Every structure is written in C-alpha cells, then in structure tokens.
A and B are shown apart, each in its own frame.
Chain A
Amino acid sequence: MSPTPADIEDDVLQIIAEKGQVDRARLTPDARLADLAIASLDVIEIVFALEDRFDIAIPFNANDARQEFATVGDILRAVKAVAGESRAA
C-alpha cells in the first residue's frame, strides 16, 4: 500500500529533525531553515535521505534560487509533489 500524505509528512519531519539535529516540535511549515540552524549542506543531506527513503528524485540544485528550500514547508511541498507523481504513474 502506498503511503498517505500524512505518512509522508511524518517521515519528512522525522528525517529533517534527525539530519538537522533539531527538535521535531520546532518543525512547523513556516519555520525557516536558517532560523533552525540548518545549513545548506544539511539541506543537501536531508534531500538525499528523503530521496533514499521514498525512492524519488527531488529536483534541487544548490545554485538555483528558484528552487531554494527556505522553510520546512518548502521541503514538505517538494517531497509531496514528487511522491504524488510517482504514485500516480
């Protein structure tokens, strides 16, 4: 059975908390990664862990401001979008 959006959200927050070394309670959608002391290299690690966990590819280039992950919500949306696509396919 494929994971529900709630399952996905749960896993994403778990991975961000683990890789970013931050308390899960602080991971509200509008929390800024910079304020949580999650650096750009942490973001790359988080994206890698998410891709591994969900067997997806998240389009992300650290040099492209258009796809910058600034908040927790940005990451959630990106994963849900790609995970949704792969389920539909």
Chain B
Amino acid sequence: MTRAVITGLGVVSPIGIGVPAFADSLFAGRSGIGPLAGMPDRPLSIPVAAQVRGFDPAAHVDPKRLNLLDRTSQFALVAAREAVGMAGLSFAGPLSERTGVVLGIGVGGMTTLDDAFLRLYGEGANRLHPLTIPRLMFSAPAAHLSMEYGITGPAFAASSACASSGHALGMALLLLRAGMADVVLAGGAEASLSFGALKGWEAMRIASPDTCRPFSKDRSGMVLGEGAAVLVLETEEHARRRGAEVLAELAGVGLGADAGDITAPDPQGAARAMRAALKDARLDPDAVDYVNAHGTATAANDVAEAQAIHAVFGARAARLPVSSSKSMFGHALGAAGALEAVTTVLALTHSIVPPTANFTEPDPACPVDAVPNAAREVPMTVALSNSFAFGGLNAVLALRRV
C-alpha cells in the first residue's frame, strides 16, 4: 500500500505564528488564551478566547489581493507558505496537476458574513461588498492555495465542525493512496470569532468563563480559538525520489459517525474511530505511545473521551500520556485537527509530549494521565490525534515517526 509522509508544516496560531514559535509555546506549556479583544461594547458572557494576536495581513499579502481574502484564507495562505517552504517544493511542470489541496473549514467566513449582515440589517445598507460571497465561502481558502501555487489537481474543503481538518487530512491520505495525487497540501483554517458567532456559542452555555482546563476536575468549558495549519503530505516514493526530509508518516485514519446526538459525545463512537485508525495503520493499540486528545474541557467531552481511551487501550489507558493542546491554543474548530496534527508531529520528532496546561486537579471521572502543566520526554514511535465533532462526526489520525 502507498505510504503517505509529511514533509512540511506551517501554522498560524494563538501561541505563535510559524512552527518554531508554536513549538516553543507548546513545549513550554504557554497558553495563548486571554481577554477577548475587538468586540463591540455589547453584553457577551464569553470573556476569553485564544485569538491570533499580532497578525498583520498586509505583511503577507499585497493590498490588491488582500481584498479577496477573508481572515480564514489569510491564515491558510500564511500557514501554507511556511509548509511549502519547509518541504522545499515547487509545483511547476507535471507536479501541478499531481498536487491537491484539502482544507478543513468548520464554520466558514463568519467575520465577513457578520460585517455584511451588520451593514444590511443593522445599518440599513442597500448593497453589500461585491466580494462578500467569494470571501466567505468554505472553499475559498483551498481555492486561494491552488491559485497561489498553480496547483491544478483535486482541491476542495472538508467540513465536519470540530473534526473538519481531521477529515481533510484523512481525505488527503486517501487521494495519495488512490493514486489521484502525489502531493497534497492538507490542513484546516478557521477565523470565526465574530460577535454574532460568539453570541451563538454563548447561547449554548458551554464556553468557559475563565480558561480551558481539559481533564481537570474544575474544568469549566471550552475556549474558542482561531488559526490555521497546513501539512505537506506526499507519497513516500515521491518524497524519496526528490530526497525530501521526511518528518513523520500519516499511517492511518479512522472516520465514523456516532449516529446519536447533535451535541452529546458518544464514547463508543470515539472508540470506534480510534480503533479504525489503528486498523487502517495496521497497528496494535499497544504500539501507541501518546494520544493528542480532542480534550475540549467541556464536562461531557472529556469524560466520554477518557471512557473511549479506556475502552481502546484497556489496562494501559491509565498510564498512557494523553494531553490536550486546546489548553494552550483553544478550540480552533475547523483548524483544530490540523493544529493538533502538527502538534503530534512535533511531539514525535522531538520525543516530547506537550502538556495539558491550566490543569489543577485530576478528575476521577476522566482517569487519564493528562501530562499536567509540564512537557515530558517520552520515547515515541506512534501517536494518535483525536477529533470528535458536534453531530458525532469523528476523525482520528495515526501518526508514526520515521
């Protein structure tokens, strides 16, 4: 079977723009969660978020083109440039049509939509900006990457709320295995911290009033984030032929649906997806050294995820390192799975498990070794990255050190 390897990484995140800054924060357990900024002076009971601070779009995109790009696409473009640069690829010649783009987008160009509807309904404007639709469409970031590089192979967005980029990376793996591409730029992007969207989250009453404490007894809910991550995936053969430095292998993916509740997680669905990823990678549960958890810090997710981990790993579950990086970069929805895939690759290449930050006290209801507050050196060969979305749509990636 065709093997898929990772040869480039790029991130725009609340804990660093660029992989070196991102890795520093991850291993230092430094959280990017802070007071929510840039909102209108109206009541909102979500006081904190993980925002990408200090991102200057004009530093990355020329003013003429910038007009076409929603913040979501801006993040995707900057992350992709880093990943492609790291991989040392150029797409001229036959590689153009042998390369694809698959990006996970959870809720799309919310800030563009919010601005437009504020004008329309709030201010009584009669016309909207002509680029409103091309800016906000879910597929815009993937389209912009194809245009940036002249990539003419399969390009599309994948959407499954909080698991979107897990599905995107899974689809990229399948494109490579199916022989439909030799290289795929895969990942996810999200920039949906608009006032309107946040009022929707507020109404669900699951956002934390202070910070994100996954698996901790006093956890108080999720913290919303934003950002993008892009990984360069290519067939092992293609990478070897061009002498590329291989960072890790995307060995398998497990996809599935709970077919249960629109918001409540199902431990059985989560366990099925983890087992499917291991089976796809032809790995035994005993081979897994680390699980990068979905770990949203909601009461429900963390209990369900811990139960699923116990179901899959049995007696090993209690001592298997399981950490949630959402404690540092929040929940970036459609970008979450890709940011966490990059996190998992960095964990494998450094043999260091990034911690679960903000952890205060173990919760008997989720008995996992959450690697509280301090990174840990662990010899690692195989790691899982979990994404479990609202609607019960699950995607688990199995990654292997090479």
Contacts and interface: CB of A to CB of B under 8 A. Distances in A.
B204 A40 contact: no
B221 A40 contact: no
B205 A60 contact: yes
Interface residues of A, number: 12
Interface string A55-82: 0000011111100000000000000000
Interface of B: 203-206, 208-209, 219-221, 261-264, 297-300
Given A62-B299, A62-B300, A63-B299, 13 more contacts: A39-B261, A40-B263, A40-B264, A44-B203, A48-B203, A60-B205, A62-B204, A62-B205, A62-B221, A63-B208, A63-B221, A63-B298, A64-B221
Interface of A: 39-41, 44, 47-48, 60-65
A65 B363 CA distance: 13
Nearest to B203: A48
B3 to A, nearest CB: 41
Contacts of B206: 61-63
Contacts, number: 39
Contacts of B219: 63
A44 B299 contact: no
Contacts of B221: 61-64
Nearest to A64: B220
A32 to B, nearest CB: 17
A61 B264 contact: no
A65 B204 contact: no
Contacts of A39: 261, 264
A71 B3 CA distance: 54
B340 to A, nearest CB: 21
B301 to A, nearest CB: 10
A60 B204 CA distance: 10
B209 A61 contact: yes
B362 to A, nearest CB: 16
21 contacts: A39-B264, A40-B264, A41-B261, A41-B263, A41-B264, A44-B203, A44-B204, A47-B205, A60-B205, A61-B205, A61-B206, A62-B204, A62-B205, A62-B206, A62-B221, A63-B208, A63-B219, A63-B220, A63-B299, A64-B220, A64-B299
